[in-house]
Amino acid sequence: MIRSNGKYLASVIVFFTLGCVIITAQQHSQSKIEIKLIRNVETVVEASGIDESALRKLRDSNLPQSALTKIFPVTVGALPGSGEVTPMLGDYTITNDSIRFKPRFPFDPSQQYSATFDLKTFAQLCGEELYEGRDDLIRLVFSLPKSADSVATTITNVYPSGDRLPANQLRLYIHFSGPMSFGEAYQHIHLFDESGKQIERAFLIFDQELWDATRERFTLLFDPGRIKRGLRSNGDLGLALIPGRKYRLVIDKEWRDGAGQPLGSSFEKTFVAEQPDRNKVDPEKWDVEAPPESTRVPLRLIFPRPLDHALLESAISIFDPEGKPVSGRRELCPGETEFRFTPTDSWKGGKYTIRIDTALEDLAGNNLRGPFDVDLSQQDELRPDQKYAIIMFSTLPKQ
C-alpha cells in the first residue's frame, strides 16, 4: 500500500513542480515592465522587466535609434500632452533585460520629464507575439531629486552697504554666492517707495546684462537720464529718488542661478535718499591715519562720503619712500567710508605716496576729475585729464 502511495506521491510532486515551473515561466514573461531613473556616474532612464527574448529580437533587428525613440520616448514636461511632442535627443542601449536612455544633454534640475514605454510599438517592431494585443503605455514622470548637499545660491552683499544714498545714486552692486543665469535679471529687481508703490523705469536695462567674468557680481545702474540735468528723461519723469524719502529695493528669490535653481531667499534693502551729490571726489578732504613705522598696523583712509565699492578695490596704490610699490592687503569697511591697507612687510620710516586713480567714483558717479553731471553752460572749471592724484603721508615715529 505504502509503495503505491509513494509512486502516486512522486507523480504529484513531479507534476506540481512542473506546473510551478510553467506558471513561473509565464509570470516571468508577463512580469511588470517598469521605468526608473538611475543615477550613477551617468544619469539614465531605464525600462526594465521586459521579456528577454523580445529584447534579443529587438537587438538583432538592428533598428536605427529613431525607431527606438518611438518605443521609449523621453520628453520635457509632466505630461506628454496631445498631438506631436518632440522627443529628446539621446542614445538608446539595449541590455539583456532593459532598454536604457541617456540624454544628449544632462537633465535640467528645474524641469519635469516624462518617459513612456509604448508596448504596442515595441511588439510591432520586434515582432514579439508575447506582447501582441497589448496596447499599454507605461509611464514615469520624474525630475532630478535635489541632492542633499546642494546649497541654494544667495545674495551675499549689496553695495553701497549704507542706508543713506544720494538721490543721484548711480550704481548698485549685487554680489551672489555662486554663478547666476542671465537673461532674467531685471524682472526680479524692484524699487518701492514709502507707500509701497513700485517705481517704474528706475534702472537702465541692458539686453546683455552687466556681470563680472564669473557671473557672481551684477551691476545695476540707476537711469542717469533721470539724473543728468537737462536730458529728456529727467524733464519727463524726474529723479527716481526724492531726497528725504524712504525706499525699498527688493530682489525676488525667483531669480535663477546658473543651475536653474531659484535663490535661497529674497533680499531687501531699505534706504533713505539724501540730497543729490554733485561734487567731485576730493582726496584733500580725506582723513589719513598714518601707521607707526616698523609695524604692520594698517594705513586708514577715512572718506567724508561713501565711495564706489568695486572701484575702490583697484583705485588706490601705495608707494614707499623710494618710489617702489608696496604689497599688502586691501580692506573696505562696511559703509564704504573707510579703506584700510595692511602691508605685507613692516612700514619703513619716511614719506609714503598714496596714488589714486582719478576714475575713482563716489556713489553718484562723481570722480576726482569732476562731477558726473557737468553743466556745460557754466563751464567754470575744466576737468584736468590727469590719470592719478597723489597724497603723501609720513609714518609715525617708533613707539
Partner 1 sequence: MKLRTWLYCFLAASSVAMTAVISYGHPGSPMTAGMSVGAPDIKSAGSMTFGPDGILFIGDSQGAAVFAVDLDDTTKDSSSDKVDVIGLDKKLAAMLGTTPDNVFINDMAVNPISHNIYVSVSRGRGPDSMPVLMRVTKKGAIEEVPLSKVMFSKTVLSNPPKPDAKTEWGEPERPMTITHMVYSGGELFVAGLSSEEFSSSLRRFKFPFKDDPESTSLEIFHASHDRYETKAPIETFMTFHANGQPVLLAAYTCSPLAIFPIADLKQKKMLRGTTIAELGGGNRPLDMISFWQNGKEYVLISNSNRTLMRIDPADIDKAQPLTTGVKEDYQTAGVKYVSVAITGILQLDNLNDKYVVVINRDMETGALNLRSIQKDRL
Q: How far is the CB of 185 from partner 1 (least distance, A)?
A: 11
What is the C-alpha to C-alpha distance for residues 84 and 324, in angstroms, rounded to an integer?
71
CB of residue 208 to partner 1, shortest distance in Å: 5
Residue owning grid cell 543721484: 168
User: Quick one: cell of 200?
Assistant: 517704474
Q: Does 89 participate in binding partner 1 (rule CB under 8 A)?
A: yes
Contact between 104 and partner 1 per CB under 8 A: yes
Q: Does 357 bind partner 1 (CB under 8 A)?
A: no
Among 34, 37, 103, 234, binds partner 1 (CB under 8 A): 103
Supply the angle between the helices 119-126 and 52-60 in degrees, to the nearest 10: 60
Segment interacting with partner 1 (CB under 8 A) among 42-50, 207-215, 324-332, 367-375:
207-215
Of 67, 76, 250, 272, which lies in the binding site for partner 1, with binding defined by CB under 8 A?
76
String of contacts with partner 1 for each residue 43-72, x by CB under 8 A: ------------------------------
Q: Contacting partner 1 (CB under 8 A), which of 151, 206, 242, 386?
A: 206
Q: Please, which residue, 212 or 254, has the CB nearer to partner 1?
A: 212
Residue 82 makes contact with partner 1 by CB under 8 A: no
Task: State the binding string over 212-231 for partner 1 (x if CB under 8 A, else -).
Answer: xxxx-----x----------
Nearer to partner 1, 103 or 335 (CB): 103
Binding mask 156-185 for partner 1 (x = CB under 8 A): -----------------------xxxxx--
CB of 221 to partner 1, least distance (A): 8
The minimum distance between CB 172 and partner 1, in angstroms, equals 15
Judged by CB under 8 A, the residue of 40, 86, 96, 379 near partner 1 is: 86
Residues 200 and 215: their CA atoms lie apart, in Å, by 26
Residue among 128 and 257 whose Cβ is closer to partner 1:
257
Smaller CB separation from partner 1, 108 or 289: 108
Site string for partner 1, 243-282 (x = CB under 8 A): --------------xxxx----------------------
Cα separation of 222 and 200, whole Å? 11
List 55, 99, 100, 113, residue binding partner 1 (CB under 8 A) = 113
10 Å CB burial of residue 234 (0-12, 13-18, 19+) is middle
Burial 263-272 (b: 16+ CB within 10 A, else e): beeebebebe
**Which member of 210, 290, 326, 374 binds partner 1 (CB under 8 A)?**
210
Among 6-14, 26-34, 80-88, 245-253, the segment contacting partner 1 (CB under 8 A): 80-88
* CB of 41 vs partner 1, minimal distance in Å: 19
Among residues 46, 87, 99, 308, the one that binds partner 1 under rule CB under 8 A: 87
Q: With CB under 8 A as the contact rule, which of the stretches 97-105, 194-202, 245-253, 381-389 interacts with partner 1?
A: 97-105
Annotate the chain with three-state secondary structure.
CHHHHHHHHHHHHHHHHHHHHHHHHHHHHCCCCEEEEEECCCEEEEEECCCHHHHHHHHHCCCCHHHHHHHCCEEECCCCCCCCCCCCCEEEEECCCEEEEEECCCCCCCCCEEEEEEHHHHHHHHCCHHHCCCCCEEEEEECCCCCCCCCCCCEEEEECCCCEEECCCCEEEEEECCCECCCCCHHHEEEECCCCCECCCCECCCCCCCECCCCCEEEEEECHHHHCCCCHHHHHHCCCCCCCCEEEEEECCCCEECCCCECCCCEEEEEEEECCCCCCCCHHHCEEECCECCCCCCEEEECCCCECHHHHHHHEEEECCCCCECCEEEEECCCCCEEEEEECCCCCCCEEEEEEECCCEECCCCECCCCCCCCHHHCCCCCCCCCEEEEEEECECCC
Interface with partner 1 includes 141 (CB under 8 A)? no
Residues that bind partner 1 (CB under 8 A): 75-76, 85-90, 103-108, 111, 113, 179-183, 204, 206-208, 210, 212-215, 221, 257-260
